[in-house]
Chains A and B, each alone.
Chain A
Amino acid sequence: MRDPVAIVGAGQTAHRSRRLDVSAPELIDEAVQAALLDARLEPDGIDAVVVGNMEHFEGIHLSDLWAVEGTGGAGKPQLKVATGGTTGSSLAQAAYYLVAGGFFRTVMAVGWERLSDSEGETTTGIVTAFDPIYERPTLAGAVSGLAILACQYQAKYGTRAEEAALVVVQARENAARNSHAHLRQPVTVAEVLASPVLSTPIRYLDMCPTSDGACAVVFTSRPGDGRAAWVRGVSSRHNHTYLGDVTEGSVSYLHTLRLAAEDAYRQAGVADPRQELDVVEMYEPCTWAAFEWAEALGLCGPGEAARMWAEGATRRDGEIPVNPSGGVLCTNPIGATGLIRVAEASMQVRGTAGERQVDGARLALATGFGGSFWSEVMVLAAER
């Protein structure tokens, strides 16, 4: 039997390409203090801390050791969780399970990344995550892995580059209303199409940035009388080792997202996600991925996502708003990125999202993407 769990606080840093004004613990502290303030808690109100980043970007291992002055974990149970791109969403899931299982009353999840520490060589770090015998010689990190996905999607549905570009155009419009977001300046479809090719068909502006930033979220079984976002569905689906195993057959490339979403919808009693969800914070590391993954989430039918974006259904005031925060395409401190999705979704249902608030949001979905195309999702609701 699970205890009901709510999110009662979320904090983020100002996410930027380089936060040379702060060290990693100072960056983490910025998010942790903001989350405590939002939750109206003192540090001793946190019973356990779950922390994580992707250590191979900074090259400082045992990050749970050196980050502790920022996390406040000293003298408390502190666990590290690191699952690649999904690190942030895994932190949320781990914190949830610890509270739902009744082991702790209040747990803080803390994720961060300083991608500027690797001097822009994010791809180098990502390549080291993959099999050294077979995959490293060909793989060019997340960029080429997602390019393979985009190639497959394009071949299947005949989607055009200008249709995909619209995803980042819309994301930047949203990020302009989010003071935490890293990239807030508007872009046009023409600018996306004129940006350099990274890995066909993905161009520079189709791809998420690399950011420095941190995020902290407070999960509790005793939410008091403040505004709470109740966790109604939690699911995760891992994947096989080799990228050649995940493209198998004619199944959707990210079938793990479809499976995790179906499981979480069942837990939350969601029968028609497009009708019932008020807002989605989707982990979309590139424009093309947003299309296939919106379909995997059941927001539209196969091959219909480009039209859904073009018709404006995914805008903040549309039928099914996707990433009113600006999403991963505008902000990407990787170890925090999945947790930012959860934080933003919780703010939407708590009604604390400020300028980026979706009017009347009561039910929200947050997703995470990582590794060899595995997925995590969390459904949050204003009602218990």
Chain B
Amino acid sequence: MSEIAVRATPELRYRYAAGRYASAFLQGLRDGRILASRCHRCARTLVPPRIACTGCFAGMDEIVTLPPRGTLLAFTLVAFPFLDPFTGIPRPVPYCYGMVKLEGADNTFQYFLSEKDPGRLRVGQTVRAVFREERTGSLADLLHFAPVEG
């Protein structure tokens, strides 16, 4: 019996509302700052800022600026190709990203790393935020985190 399959190649379009907290965060990046929200009940500081505390679910209405450095808790070099659902074309590989515990934050922030050789990265090392010269109020204003030498 023949096995027939029907092909579909749609071009879909979406526009996602960033909302109050992410809009504030992205505007902070434009100004070269990393913003977090702070819980008035359990004193937790979370990045990115959000409406409710992950620890006690209290509303988070205090926004603070974090220092642009932290500790690398985990990382990976992504080497396999896949179709990026944001762009509809294969995502450029390889690239490294990791989980950065920013100074003063209680959680970690997932973002790109400057290195493309995972052999030069280690868990526990200090990294610093590197911003682009031209900033527009988008996540990409934060270029990456880079290891601090020494």
Contact = CB atoms under 8 A, between A and B. Distances in A.
Q: Does B bind A?
A: yes
Given A133-B18, A248-B106, A140 B82 contact: yes
B16 A132 contact: yes
A198 B8 contact: no
B48 A242 contact: yes
Contact of A148 (B1, B76, B79, B124): B76
A134 B112 CA distance: 11
A20 B4 CA distance: 8
Given A198-B79, A199-B78, A138 B110 contact: yes
B84 interface: yes
Interface residues of B, number: 45
B130 interface: no
B123 A59 contact: no
A243 B80 contact: no
B132 to A, nearest CB: 14
A152 B77 contact: no
9 contacts: A121-B82, A133-B18, A140-B82, A148-B76, A149-B74, A151-B123, A199-B76, A244-B107, A244-B110
A124 B112 contact: no
Q: Size band of the A side of the interface?
A: 35 or more
Interface string A227-262: 000000000000011111101110000000000000
A138 B99 contact: no
A248 B78 contact: no
Contacts, number: 120
B75 interface: yes
A102 interface: no
Interface in B105-129: 106-112, 118, 122-124
A270 to B, nearest CB: 30
B80 A138 contact: no
A68 interface: no
A188 interface: no
A200 B79 contact: yes
Nearest to A117: B5
A197 B78 CA distance: 8
B35 interface: no
Interface string B46-57: 111010001000
Given A137-B86, A245-B107, A249-B106, 20 more contacts: A20-B5, A124-B84, A127-B85, A128-B85, A132-B14, A133-B139, A137-B140, A138-B112, A140-B78, A140-B82, A148-B74, A151-B123, A155-B122, A155-B123, A198-B79, A199-B79, A201-B76, A243-B110, A247-B74, A248-B108
Interface in A2-38: 20-21
Interface in A29-49: none
A151 B76 CA distance: 7
Nearest to A207: B80
B110 A135 contact: yes
A134 B22 contact: yes
Interface string A299-311: 0000000000000
Interface in A183-206: 196-202
Contact of A196 (B8, B18, B79, B97): B79
Contacts of B48: 133-134, 242
B146 to A, nearest CB: 15
Which of B8, B107, B124: most chain A CB closer than 10 A? B107
Contacts of A139: 110
A198 B80 contact: yes
Contacts of A242: 48, 107, 110
Contact of B118 (A143, A200, A247): A200
A155 B110 contact: no
Contacts of B124: 155
Contacts of B139: 133-134, 137
Given A133-B18, A151-B74, A200-B118, A247 B108 contact: yes
Contacts of B66: none
B11 interface: no
